[in-house]
Amino acid sequence: DEPTDEPTDDPTDEPTDDPGTTTLTIRVASSEEVDQVETNDGPLDPVNDTFFGAEVELTNEADEEIGLAGENFTFYDDQGGSHHVRYGRFTTSGPQIAPGETARAMVYADIPSGTQITEVSYTDSVGTAGQEVTLPID
């Protein structure tokens, strides 16, 4: 059999670049509701009523750096409302995670009291191919 350049539908052993594939492992390690967040510049008070924080662990399985900054995360409540991160602490100097590395992000949203946060999402052009990955919060 001589090789041909004709297209075929036969499967190959070569990986493909599927834009819908994530290249990271992500999980919510813990969550908390606090009245104040301790920062390097001193305590940060909420503008609304309280802070909701989640500790998220990310492992970069890509060949490129992935983003690690507050704007990569969004919180969602039980009414479908979104809440953006007001403050974040990261275990890397960032704002990236190098290939093969694992980092933790402790991200906080400033929310009205009585708001029930149910999910946190992460989005990155490399790590999630620009698709939002949503994780439940227990």
99-132 per-position pLDDT tens digit: 999 999 999 999 999 999 999 999 999 889 999 9
* Residue at token pair 């750096």: 65
Q: In DSSP terms, which residues pair with 85 in a beta bridge?
A: 109
User: Among 137, 132, 82, which Cα is nearest to 109's?
Assistant: 82
User: Among 46, 47, 66, 44, which Cα is nearest to 56's?
Assistant: 66
> Ramachandran region of residue 100, left (φ > 0), alpha (ψ -120 to 50) or beta?
left
Give Cα separations from 24 to 39, 49, 67, 70 (angstroms): 28, 34, 11, 17
pLDDT surpasses 90 at 60: yes
Cβ 94 vs Cβ 79: under 8 Å = no
Give pLDDT tens digits for 73-104: 999 999 999 999 999 999 987 689 999 999 99
Measured CA to CA, the distance from residue 73 to residue 84 in angstroms comes to 7
Question: What is the pLDDT, as a whole number, of residue 23?
Answer: 76
